[in-house]
């Protein structure tokens, strides 16, 4: 029976029920979208308008009226890019670039950092400073960085601006990666817009695999260990033993990886089903043997963005060793601030920046050291890998904890109140959580060849692929929490 209220709710923004890749609503909506998209394959203009409209609607379902921000940013940077490309005088070109950066970062800073800076000022003047209730639009950091890279690439003469504004809006709002990445460069994406979308068997199979893997990572592993263990420990670390706190840290390391890489997998997979290719965003990062290698494997689109547009702009390694170390530290401090307006994110970024600088220093002093695991002996790889993994886990405490009091409480429990005698009881009480954690880490560290897996799935009959999809979705629905669990990186 038709229910007008349910119908209206489906098409309007509800802050308590945002549209997520893992929701039944998105599955239905994407199926309808795909049918019409396939019908418009040969009509370029209609396809661009249709996908753009759907992408804006998708963002409206996650952030409400703030979809207008994407339209505003697309207008300003498309216009600036046009005039920047035509301008030959270097001084004027710098002014156009500065205008774009100030506009984009001004929007980002207002929504993301006003409360943080107001808190700092309040502490300095010893008086509360009321800035009102500022809503943080989902994924604002992602589409801001994408838009900035477009103008910077034009300034560097690495990109010719697109002729049509609607193409740029299509790029900036494309829904698979809009709210949590990967951060796609304009020079990689824009040429794909005008091409007729051809979905090969290999693309379809790989897209299907990535979507199913992403669903498993998010709904089965990440959400389960989060709700049933990790969140409880981080909310009240003093109520749990040191062993439970340590397991909570290991659990969060797996949770954030499965949550974020799961979203990236689904985004890349959905894009493949639409005929678009995105760059890989994660490459089994916990296998890294050095901190440098970790940042080549973790959130690859962000780390490469920071390297190309911030680290190199600061001088990179071209101005001597000391300046190189300072540039690394500044880059990661700002990378931490990108993640959130809080001192704990800055500390997290600073720790990683310091570790990268130390590793760079050691590489210069000991030529025999390896920057990555490639060429390392198995024993050296395992030892270095354990050290790198535990350093990353230590830093995750600052990233996840609500405040510095939680950080000190967790570290205190781990180092002064481990309670070895409670370990059997803890393992018995949380055996399901630990079993899923063990399975997650086992899969992560097992050797696998993605291309062979894709080839194997490609050769499967269509009926088998359908059954596999249905089974995974059924398992996800059985384990899925009734509570909405947004992706962690939605807040960034």
The answer to whether 77 touches 107, Cβ cutoff 8 Å, is no
The answer to whether 137 touches 66, Cβ cutoff 8 Å, is yes
The answer to whether 104 touches 147, Cβ cutoff 8 Å, is yes
Q: What is the pLDDT of residues 430-468, one digit of tens each?
A: 999 999 999 999 988 876 665 666 667 767 777 777 777
Which pTM value belongs to this model? 0.89
pLDDT value of position 2: 47
pLDDT value of position 448: 66
Assigned token pair, 49: 């308008």
Q: What is the pLDDT of residues 477-492, one digit of tens each?
A: 666 655 557 777 666 6
The answer to whether 142 touches 178, Cβ cutoff 8 Å, is yes
- The C-alpha angle 251, 252, 257, rounded to 5 degrees, equals 105
More confident residue, 296 or 205: 296
- Percentage of residues in the chain having pLDDT higher than 90: 46
Helix (H, G, I), strand (E, B), or coil: what is residue 205?
A: helix
Q: Considering the candidates 299, 339, 359, 381, report the single residue annotated as catalytic.
A: 339
Binned at pLDDT 50, 70 and 90, residue 12 comes out as: confident
Q: What is the pLDDT of residues 352-393, one digit of tens each?
A: 999 999 999 988 888 777 777 787 888 888 899 999 999 999
Which residues, other chains included, contact 121 with Cβ-Cβ below 8 Å and sequence gap of 6+?
Answer: 129
Assigned token pair, 287: 């296998």
Q: What is the largest CA-CA distance in the chain?
A: 74
CA distance 271 to 134: 32
Q: What is the pLDDT of residues 299-337, one digit of tens each?
A: 999 999 999 999 888 888 888 888 889 999 999 999 998
User: What are phi and psi for residue 178, nearest 5 degrees?
Assistant: -65, -45
Assigned token pair, 79: 């216009």
Handedness of CA 389, 393, 396, 400 (dihedral sign): positive
Domain boundaries, the chain: 10-197, 202-289+373-491
How is residue 283 annotated by DSSP? S
Assigned token pair, 19: 């549209």
Q: What is the pLDDT of residues 97-140, one digit of tens each?
A: 999 999 999 999 888 888 878 778 887 787 777 777 778 888 88
| Beta-carbon count within 10 A of 29 CB | 18
CA distance 179 to 181: 6
Active site residue 299: no
Handedness of CA 378, 382, 384, 385 (dihedral sign): positive
Helix segments in 176-281, DSSP class H: 186-193, 201-215, 223-225, 231-235, 242-273
pLDDT of 3 strictly over 50: yes
Q: What is the pLDDT of residues 187-234, one digit of tens each?
A: 999 999 888 778 887 788 888 888 888 888 888 899 899 999 999 999
pLDDT of 147 strictly over 90: yes
């Amino acid at each position: 029976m038709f229910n007008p209220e349910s119908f209206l709710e489906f098409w309007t923004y509800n802050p308590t029920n945002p549209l997520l890749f893992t929701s039944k609503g998105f599955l239905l909506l994407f199926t309808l979208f795909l049918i019409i998209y396939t019908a418009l394959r040969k009509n370029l203009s209609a396809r661009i308008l249709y996908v753009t409209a759907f992408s804006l609607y998708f963002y409206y379902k996650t952030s409400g009226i703030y979809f207008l921000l994407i339209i505003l940013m697309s207008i300003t940077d498309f216009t600036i890019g046009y005039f920047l490309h035509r301008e030959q005088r270097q001084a004027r070109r710098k002014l156009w670039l500065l205008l774009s950066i100030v506009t984009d970062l001004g929007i980002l800073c207002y929504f993301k950092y006003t409360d943080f800076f107001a808190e700092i000022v309040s502490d300095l003047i010893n008086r509360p400073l009321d800035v009102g209730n500022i809503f943080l639009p989902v994924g604002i950091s992602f589409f801001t960085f994408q838009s900035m890279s477009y103008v910077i690439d034009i300034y560097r003469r690495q990109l010719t601006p697109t002729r049509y504004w609607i193409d740029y809006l299509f790029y900036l709002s494309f829904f698979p990666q809009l709210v949590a990445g990967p951060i796609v460069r304009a020079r990689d994406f824009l040429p794909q817009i005008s091409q007729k979308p051809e979905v090969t068997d290999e693309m379809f199979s790989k897209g299907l695999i990535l979507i199913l893997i992403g669903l498993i990572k998010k709904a089965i592993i990440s959400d389960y260990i989060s709700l049933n263990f990790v969140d409880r420990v981080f909310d009240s670390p003093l109520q749990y033993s040191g062993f439970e706190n340590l397991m909570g840290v290991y659990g969060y390391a797996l949770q954030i990886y499965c949550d974020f890489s799961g979203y990236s997998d689904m985004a890349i997979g959905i894009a493949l089903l639409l005929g678009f290719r995105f760059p890989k965003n994660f490459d089994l990062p916990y296998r890294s043997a050095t901190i440098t290698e970790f940042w080549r494997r973790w959130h690859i689109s962000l780390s490469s963005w920071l390297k190309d547009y911030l680290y190199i702009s600061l001088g990179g390694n071209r101005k001597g060793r000391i300046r190189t170390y300072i540039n690394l530290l500044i880059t990661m401090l700002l990378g931490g601030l990108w993640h959130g307006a809080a001192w704990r994110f800055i500390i997290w970024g600073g720790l990683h920046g310091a570790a990268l600088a130390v590793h760079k220093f050691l590489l210069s002093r000991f030529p025999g050291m390896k920057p990555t695991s490639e060429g390392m002996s198995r024993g050296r790889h395992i030892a270095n890998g354990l050290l790198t993994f535990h350093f990353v886990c230590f830093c995750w405490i600052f990233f996840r904890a609500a405040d510095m009091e939680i950080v000190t409480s967790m570290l205190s429990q781990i180092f002064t109140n481990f309670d070895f005698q409670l370990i059997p009881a803890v393992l018995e009480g949380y055996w399901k959580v630990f079993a899923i954690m063990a399975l997650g880490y086992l899969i992560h560290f097992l050797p696998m060849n993605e291309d062979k897996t894709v080839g194997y799935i490609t050769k499967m009959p269509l009926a088998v692929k359908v059954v596999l999809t249905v089974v995974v979705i059924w398992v996800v629905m059985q384990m899925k929490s009734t509570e909405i669990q947004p992706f962690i990186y939605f807040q960034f």
